[in-house]
Amino acid sequence: MHLAKRLEKIPPYLFTEINRKQNELIERGVDIINFGAGDPDQPTPNHIVQAMHEAIQDSTNHHYPSYKGLKEYRQAAADWMKRRFGVKDINPETEIISSIGSKESIHNIFLAFINPGDCTIIPDPGYPVYRTSTIFAEGQPYPMQLRAENGFLPILRSIPQEVAEKAKLLWINYPNNPTGATASLEFFQELVDFCRHYNILLCHDNAYSEIAYDNYQPPSILQIPKAKDIAIEFHSLSKTYNMAGWRIGFVVGNSLGIKGLSQVKSNIDSGVFEAVQKAAIAAFSTAEKDLEDLVTLYQRRRDILVKGLQSLGYPIKANLASLYVWVPIPQNYTSQEFATFLLKKCGITVLPGNAYGASGEGFIRMALTVEEKRIGQALQRMKNAGINYI
């Protein structure tokens, strides 16, 4: 009995080795402060939980769900897109599909559009699933470098013409994981024009659209005129409504993209539990104040972490969005070495930047899903250990 050869091409998921070392220390009684996973630490709002309770009691929700998602859920998602982004012309029947979070739909879109040897253009650094799903589909990933000097935006003119002509998918993710970078509507227009020219399906992973600070509001790619001709957008309720474990999201945009995703999903999964979809409908009606309170909490954490790191000499600025702070590391370390050093010396878990691609070397990612008191403790541990930037 042998594993499939494709697994030889897939590196271990980025948490695996860090978790192993972390667990060894925990077993030895070390107090670990974990900045690794972007898993919201706040509870799901009560009105969502109550909606779930009611939906579970309704036996009509106990059967197989629709592959596409409940009509009411898709309509609620369309209404949310209209309220939030001003995108008015979405057809819930052909341009929205429910998803099991966003990771599932991100993977399945590769199966829908990538043939062996096809090219995908993916951000580097970027969410590792873009690369591994390309490999699962037997495609060829082309890393689109995101550099600090360009605000972690790709330079489209640097993409070779032969790559652009072969590419079937181009992935972006703003607000960005792992860098926390943001993108303007002007840049989105460039992307839409580029992908329309080369007939590439533009995939925007917009999971962090509601986690933004200092009165900044991230845009949707679908705000660009004619974007639906070429673009789809992936949304998740995990971060916005503290529903990471509920596994619910939606994909919206180009009808062929939605059709392809639907065809894959109908052969792989059986949709999202309808009680969860009804709870998600309740989530879309969450009071603005509750959302503002959550963002304010993360902004306070961001400010404490960024100011503390700055006091230790780290050359970073406060990012406008996402759950992460992207931290340059001292030059005498690799990203992996520095992450390991922080864990062993200070009991602080972070993720090495090179886990997100070669261009992530020289950075670590720190998540804001840690209480303010613990952030302060982590900074004090670094100060006591003399772990300055220089």
Asked if residue 155 and residue 259 are part of one domain, the reply reads yes
Flag whether pLDDT at 15 surpasses 70: no
Asked if residue 300 and residue 234 are part of one domain, the reply reads no
Flag whether pLDDT at 209 surpasses 70: yes
| Residue 305, domain CATH | 3.90.1150.10
Q: Which residue, 284, 310, 345, sits at the end of a domain?
A: 284
What's at 275, amino acid-wise?
A
CB 135 within 8 A of CB 94: no
Among residues of the chain, what percentage have pLDDT more than 70?
Answer: 99
Asked if residue 161 and residue 35 are part of one domain, the reply reads no
pLDDT tens digits for 126-157? 999 999 999 999 999 999 999 999 999 999 99
Per the domain annotation, does 234 fall within a domain? yes
Distance of alpha carbon 183 from alpha carbon 220, whole angstroms: 10
Per the domain annotation, does 198 fall within a domain? yes
CB 308 within 8 A of CB 379: yes
Asked if residue 276 and residue 233 are part of one domain, the reply reads yes
Q: Greater confidence, 20 or 120?
A: 120
Q: Which residue, 234, 251, 284, sits at the end of a domain?
A: 284
| Residue 204, domain CATH | 3.40.640.10
Asked if residue 331 and residue 203 are part of one domain, the reply reads no
pLDDT tens digits for 241-295? 999 999 999 999 999 999 999 999 999 998 999 999 999 999 999 999 999 999 9
Q: Greater confidence, 157 or 13?
A: 157
Give the total number of structural domains in the chain: 2
Assign 3-state DSSP to the chain and report helix, strand, coil percentages, each to 5.
45, 15, 40
Residue 334 lies in domain: 5-43+289-384
pLDDT tens digits for 332-382? 999 999 999 999 999 999 999 999 999 999 999 999 999 999 999 999 999
Q: Which residue, 249, 284, 319, sits at the end of a domain?
A: 284
Per the domain annotation, does 96 fall within a domain? yes
